[in-house]
Amino acid sequence: MFPKVVQVIPMKDYSVYVYFEDGKIVCYDMSPMIEKEAFRQLKDINVFMDTCTVMNDTLAWDICKNRDNTVCLDIDPDTLYELPLVKEKIA
């Protein structure tokens, strides 16, 4: 079964809380990824925070802000689902 992401909450430390439809919650640390060429534009914390969303049933960044699934930056949902379960962080 393909794990579907239903909600994402970006944090200012370049991590993202990812909520799956089955209730699992994981925290994905994007800080190592933003050093790679494909994700470098996410180094701008405003871009990281403002474009983080759910597209293609997974964590994504809608860089062009036009909801085009073919040009977003996304993370494989299986990669996210394999992360350990975390408790929801309440501010």
pLDDT tens-digit map of 64-79: 999 888 889 999 999 9
This prediction's pTM: 0.89
Domains and CATH numbers, the chain: 5-81 (3.30.2020)
Residues 6+ apart with CB under 8 A from 76: 58
How far apart CA 57 and CA 26 sit, in angstroms, is 15
Strands 58-61 and 52-55: antiparallel
pLDDT tens-digit map of 26-64: 999 999 999 999 999 999 999 999 999 999 999 999 999
Structural contact between residues 17 and 88, judged by C-beta atoms closer than 8 angstroms: yes
Is a pLDDT exceeding 70 seen at residue 89?
no
What is the full DSSP assignment across 41-81?
GGGSHHHHHHHEEEETTEEEE-TTSS--TTS-EE--HHHHH
